[in-house]
Structure 1
Amino acid sequence: MIALLAWLLALPPLIALSIFVLETLLGLGRLREAPPPPGQPETVILMPAHNEAATIGSTLDRLQPALGQNIRLLVVADNCTDDTAKIIQSRGHAVVERHDPENRGKGFALAFGCDHLLASRDERTLECVVVLDADCETDAASLSTLTRTCVARRVTVQSRNILREASDAPAKVQMSSFAFWIKSVVRQRGGMRLGGAVLVTGTGTAYPWALFKTLPLATSNIVEDLAIGIHLTRNRQAPIYLDSASVRSAAADETATLSQRTRWEHGFLQTARTFAFSAIHDGILSRNRKLLHLGLHLLVPPLTLLLLVSLTALAATGVLAWLGGDWSAFVALAAAILLAAAAILLNWAVEGRRWLSARAMLQLPLYMVWKLPVYLGFVRGKSVGWVRTERTDAGTEQRP
């Protein structure tokens, strides 16, 4: 009986760790990608912005070299109370203003922008829409590759979404940036090599216009990008990941990192709780391999929580093994934790050192303790919505 209890405790983290190890080992190294066919498709960059007057000018200046050649910008100034719209207009870019304080969220802003495009005279020639956050930057080569791949393959394409390296940032910020890279790059590569699904990460995402205008965008979901990816995969229109196109943004400062991670991780956990098992069930019944993989992917909690749960379960199975004499569950779980640690270290050695220094890595136990309030808040049912995110460089980011 004690041995059975030990296995019941060990099995959930064992499953999650196994999926994580497989994805992260397969995610080692860049993907080999065939270049898309020539010819720049007619593209609109759709950028939601809320009270971005302090930084929108520099964002537009960085983006300007990537525009032209059938690529234009449309900004949705969403519930702004500052000069965001005026600054955009002064630089010669299209902007539409939305005022609806009852319906806040990036999804509503995207839906508003989509409706504007549907009503425009260019709707019939439009081929591709790229969603880009107002705090992100990209380059002409990435945009060209992203949009040409999207239109040629008629599929949603998620680019390589990373945070800028900051070797002088506090250890907590570095570890958060490293965990973000594991989630948004390494595991995406693993998903592609498995032939499974990848996630939409909310910025640097290209959609065929014929598909984008049919999406259920108008939602207050704090992880609307994840919900869109699930919707697409369920409908056998699973997104793909493109390593050769990149978008970048600055990491949040130390104080804002915790609130930012709280928003992201609560949203992920809520979505996973709702969709993971149904995606696995439906993927098996419908023989939809990508949906099955997406369900399995959702079973893996954020990296810090995965380690916390696994180590707690290891301690519990160790106590049960000492009481009952059967160490099999403890050994299996310990081996899985060691494999996960090895996979993380391999990825860090290959590329992850750009975001996490060896000195900062030594503070992992403190980082895990620092993250505990995030998960305790989720257990208590504390709701999370829009928050301002203070960045490590000049300016701030505000999400609608």
Structure 2
Amino acid sequence: MLILAALAGLLSVPVAVLLVEVIAALKAPKLEPFEVKELNIEKRVAVIVPAHNESVGLVPTLQDIKPQLGAGDRLIVVADNCTDDTAEVAAASGAEVIIRNDPGRIGKGFAMGWGITHLSQDPPDFVLFVDADCRLQADLVEGLKRVCHQVQRPVQALFVMRSAENSPVNHSFAEFAWVLRNWVRPLGLRNLRGPVQLMGTGMMFPWNAISSVPLASGHLVEDLKLGLDLAETGKAPYFFPFVTVTSTFPTSFKGTENQRQRWVQGHLATIGRFVPRLLTAGLMRGDVNILVLALDLLVPPLSLLALLMVVTMVMTSSVTVLGGPWLPTLIAGGNLLGFIFCVVLTWFKFGRQVFPAQELLSFGSFALKKIGFYGRMLIGGTASQWIRTDRSTPT
């Protein structure tokens, strides 16, 4: 019985964190004075685009970046372990191309580190990382540069994922979960004057920050790891939601499942590896930023959190019906109600466009698919380190 109560109690932590973040996000974001101040000092930016077999979708990304660069800025594509013509396409589009071939060390982190090593010969003032399949808002580089100069910390733009037109995969639930994860929760933390997690693209760093941390790794969610590493050095990421970088979900079932598996497994691995260390460091130093990121990291992916709470509720209520104590059931029920409140509040304020009410009719099939997904993930083992997301339409 104590085990069930402890399990329900542990789930109360991420639910409470989620509730605080969602409520804090209800306040509309306001520009800070330094976020609108012009940057009168010439500062050089290097944009690094890590690319692994991305020749098909790379050109639009580069076309979005190039008009935003000044005379001393650089656009660098890291063609990492490519077997297609990514390097040639990037060079033809006017990018500076560096090629990395090291099949024994595959991972986006390795590509990012390769780019930083290349830049160390002539360091810029700021480095911006952009994924090879993203589209950029027209003033993104200038906005991030202005804010990064003022805060002297990593700055994260708003990263939005949308469904591709005529996609055979229904991404309504995924889009809603993404809104909660990458828009609502970071906005709540911003409104509370807290730091946020890095999101993998649309991330700008002062050179002295990005050159001081190890990047070369095959970690599945290198963005989370990088943000946490920097937070431990006193450079916790800052959220600037007024500029946007956009990408699309995969248009094939295989690509969708592979992408989600990498995200989930990487997130869970990061929780196990970083949370104890961050909590210890935050408490010993009295560093609120580190503690905030540790608590935020404890919130697992939305569908997994929902599944854990439902399973806990079924287990605790079954024991109660058989004559066991009420406390575990009350805790589990409170968690479930708090979670539902967060989801409903998010939907009313932020999610009605991406997740229409009629989509609720398909919730049963979605839940079954998720149960199957987590089952296959447990049986199938660990996801690959860095595989280009399959965006082809199944025939």
TM-score normalised by length of structure 1: 0.90
Confirm whether residue 213 of structure 1 aligns to residue 215 of structure 2: no
Per the alignment, residue 132 of structure 1 pairs with 130
Q: Is the 8 A contact 2:48 2:115 kept in 1?
A: yes
Per-residue displacement from partner, 1:131-181 (whole Å, max 9, x unpaired)? 000001112322211111011210101110111356865674121122122
Specify the code of the residue in structure 2 equivalent to 1:342: F
Question: Which of these residues, 211, 221, 224, is aligned with residue 223 of structure 1?
Answer: 221
Q: CA deviation at 1:382?
A: 0.8
Partner Cα separation in structure 1 for residue 376 and residue 287 of structure 2: 35
Q: Is the 8 A contact 2:164 2:251 kept in 1?
A: no
Per-residue displacement from partner, 1:77-106 (whole Å, max 9, x unpaired)? 111222221222222221111111111111
Partner Cα separation in structure 2 for residue 94 and residue 306 of structure 1: 43
Q: Is the 8 A contact 2:47 2:76 kept in 1?
A: yes
Partner Cα separation in structure 1 for residue 22 and residue 169 of structure 2: 22
Per-residue displacement from partner, 1:182-218 (whole Å, max 9, x unpaired)? 1112111222233433101110000001211112011
Alignment of 1:178-189 (within 5 A): 178-189=176-187
Specify the code of the residue in structure 2 equivalent to 1:382: G
Specify the code of the residue in structure 1 equivalent to 2:140: S
Q: CA deviation at 1:60?
A: 2.1
> What secondary structure, in the 3-state scheme, does the structure 2 residue paired with 1:130 have?
strand
> What secondary structure, in the 3-state scheme, does the structure 2 residue paired with 1:53 have?
coil
Structure 2 gap ranges (5+): none
> What secondary structure, in the 3-state scheme, does the structure 2 residue paired with 1:87 have?
helix
Per the alignment, residue 372 of structure 1 pairs with 371
Per the alignment, residue 48 of structure 1 pairs with 50
Partner Cα separation in structure 2 for residue 242 and residue 22 of structure 1: 20
> What secondary structure, in the 3-state scheme, does the structure 1 residue paired with 2:381 have?
coil
Partner Cα separation in structure 2 for residue 74 and residue 6 of structure 1: 52
Q: CA deviation at 1:109?
A: 0.8
Structure 1 gap ranges (5+): 394-400
Q: Is the 8 A contact 1:197 1:294 kept in 2?
A: yes
Q: Is the 8 A contact 2:9 2:331 kept in 1?
A: no
Q: Whose RCO is larger (CA < 8 A, sep 6+)?
A: 1
Range 318-327 or range 151-160, more displaced? 318-327
> What secondary structure, in the 3-state scheme, does the structure 2 residue paired with 1:73 have?
strand
Partner Cα separation in structure 2 for residue 376 and residue 269 of structure 1: 15
Q: Is the 8 A contact 1:167 1:355 kept in 2?
A: no
Per the alignment, residue 177 of structure 1 pairs with 175
Q: Give RMSD over aligned pairs.
A: 2.3
Specify the code of the residue in structure 1 equivalent to 2:276: F
Partner Cα separation in structure 2 for residue 388 and residue 293 of structure 1: 32
Q: Is the 8 A contact 1:171 1:360 kept in 2?
A: no
Partner Cα separation in structure 1 for residue 276 and residue 363 of structure 2: 31
Per-residue displacement from partner, 1:225-270 (whole Å, max 9, x unpaired)? 1111111112221111111121101121251211100001100101
Confirm whether residue 14 of structure 1 aligns to residue 12 of structure 2: yes
Question: Which of these residues, 132, 150, 153, is aligned with residue 152 of structure 1?
Answer: 150
Per the alignment, residue 388 of structure 2 pairs with 388
Specify the code of the residue in structure 2 equivalent to 1:362: L
Specify the code of the residue in structure 1 equivalent to 2:24: L
Instruction: Report how many aligned residue pairs link the two structures.
Output: 388
Partner Cα separation in structure 1 for residue 387 and residue 169 of structure 2: 22
Range 374-383 or range 100-109, more displaced? 374-383
Q: Is the 8 A contact 2:127 2:206 kept in 1?
A: yes
Distance of aligned partners of 1:362 and 1:110 in 2 relative to their CA distance in 1, 3 Å threshold: same
Per the alignment, residue 252 of structure 1 pairs with 250
Range 318-327 or range 148-157, more displaced? 318-327
Partner Cα separation in structure 2 for residue 26 and residue 69 of structure 1: 41
Partner Cα separation in structure 2 for residue 387 and residue 265 of structure 1: 15
Confirm whether residue 80 of structure 1 aligns to residue 82 of structure 2: yes
Range 90-99 or range 354-363, more displaced? 354-363
Partner Cα separation in structure 2 for residue 291 and residue 370 of structure 1: 35
Partner Cα separation in structure 2 for residue 118 and residue 353 of structure 1: 46
Amino-acid identity (%): 32
Partner Cα separation in structure 2 for residue 118 and residue 281 of structure 1: 33
Partner Cα separation in structure 2 for residue 178 and residue 259 of structure 1: 19
Per the alignment, residue 204 of structure 1 pairs with 202
Partner Cα separation in structure 2 for residue 231 and residue 182 of structure 1: 24
> What secondary structure, in the 3-state scheme, does the structure 1 residue paired with 2:120 have?
helix
Specify the code of the residue in structure 2 equivalent to 1:42: R
Distance of aligned partners of 1:219 and 1:369 in 2 relative to their CA distance in 1, 3 Å threshold: same
TM-score normalised by length of structure 2: 0.91
Partner Cα separation in structure 1 for residue 374 and residue 289 of structure 2: 29
Distance of aligned partners of 1:128 and 1:31 in 2 relative to their CA distance in 1, 3 Å threshold: same
Distance of aligned partners of 1:243 and 1:253 in 2 relative to their CA distance in 1, 3 Å threshold: same
Distance of aligned partners of 1:5 and 1:219 in 2 relative to their CA distance in 1, 3 Å threshold: closer
Q: Is the 8 A contact 1:158 1:204 kept in 2?
A: yes
Partner Cα separation in structure 1 for residue 252 and residue 290 of structure 2: 36
Distance of aligned partners of 1:277 and 1:380 in 2 relative to their CA distance in 1, 3 Å threshold: farther
Alignment of 1:1-400 (within 5 A): 2=1, 4-34=2-32, 35-39=35-39, 41-68=43-70, 70-120=72-122, 123=123, 126-164=124-162, 169=167, 172-255=170-253, 256-324=255-323, 326-377=325-376, 379-380=378-379, 382-385=381-384, 386-391=386-391
Q: Is the 8 A contact 1:157 1:207 kept in 2?
A: yes
